[in-house]
Amino acid sequence: MSNLKDHQAWLKEFYEGRGWYQYPTFIHLNFVTEEVGELSRAVRALEIGRDHPGEAKKTHEELMDNLEEELADVLDQVLMISSKYDVNPETLLKRSEVKLTKRFKPLEKSVTSSSKI
């Protein structure tokens, strides 16, 4: 997949082939919620080395692999919802940049490179 729009089209076809695409959008929104929970667990495991105290520690590579997988799952669900409303995902990227640019004034380079959230 070379871009978000191509991946969105591939996902739609994949979901349609399995009978999942026809689910109402609010069901897909529930999938987003589930995937964000899994992403939270992946981040927690990466930050402290495990998800919960009884779990064996994983390697950094295993933790990063899980993080990427969960980020991809969240992205896929966002793409599914945008597909249901015929929203081009490339438009979402542009809207994000425009919104942030309007909302926040540019920072000086020295501030940008040294500031942390």
Instruction: Provide the pLDDT for residue 92.
Output: 93
The position carrying tokens 């871009």 is 3
Instruction: Provide the pLDDT for residue 15.
Output: 97
- Rounded to whole angstroms, how far apart are CA atoms 94 and 57? 40
Residue 14 has pLDDT above 60, yes or no: yes
Residue 12 has pLDDT above 70, yes or no: yes
pLDDT in tens, 45-103: 998 877 677 778 888 999 999 999 999 999 999 999 999 999 999 999 999 999 999 99
The position carrying tokens 């992403």 is 39
Does the pTM of the predicted model rise above 0.85? Answer: no
